[in-house]
């Protein structure tokens, strides 16, 4: 199964292209009391380039569907600093930008 930065995904073709994302680390609760999931900027950029319409987030026994974030949403998250920079797993690699998305439902 292909992966981007450790998140495995499977392409599902219906009337639209959907990626089913399988997370090793589940959602986390932030100070506001809501649950969030982190998705890497690289995965989002690749999904946008491939015209993926939706993600299905596989979180244990729960599946949560969300639209692929648009450039507008990403720019807003950058402005609001709704991300975390993590060091690369590779010696000369670029840092990873992980965007936070609040889980609904």
Look up the pTM and report it.
0.82
Name 10's Cβ contacts closer than 8 Å, sequence gap at least 6: 1, 19, 20, 22
**Segment 93-103 mean pLDDT:** 92
If pLDDT is split at 50, 70 and 90, which confidence band does 70 have? very high
Tens of pLDDT along 13-45?
778 899 899 887 778 888 899 999 999 999 999
Whole-number pLDDT of residue 12: 79
The total number of structural domains that make up the chain: 1
Segments in the chain forming alpha helices (H): 41-49, 71-79
What percentage of the chain carries pLDDT values higher than 90?
57
CA–chain centroid gap for 83, Å, is 11
Q: d(Cα 58, Cα 64) in Å, to the nearest integer? A: 7
> Where in the sequence is the domain holding 93, given as residue range(s)?
3-102
Gyration radius of the chain's alpha carbons: 14
Residue 3 has pLDDT above 70, yes or no: no
């Amino acid at each position: 199964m292909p992966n981007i930065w450790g998140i495995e995904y499977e392409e599902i073709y219906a009337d639209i292209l959907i990626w089913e994302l399988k997370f090793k680390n589940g959602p986390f609760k932030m100070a506001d009391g809501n649950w969030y999931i982190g998705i890497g900027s690289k995965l989002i950029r690749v999904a946008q380039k491939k015209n993926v319409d939706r993600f299905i987030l596989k979180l244990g026994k729960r599946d949560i569907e969300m639209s692929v974030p648009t450039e507008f949403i990403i720019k807003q998250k950058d402005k609001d600093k709704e991300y975390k920079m993590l060091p690369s797993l590779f010696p000369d690699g670029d840092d990873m930008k992980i965007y936070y998305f609040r889980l609904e439902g």
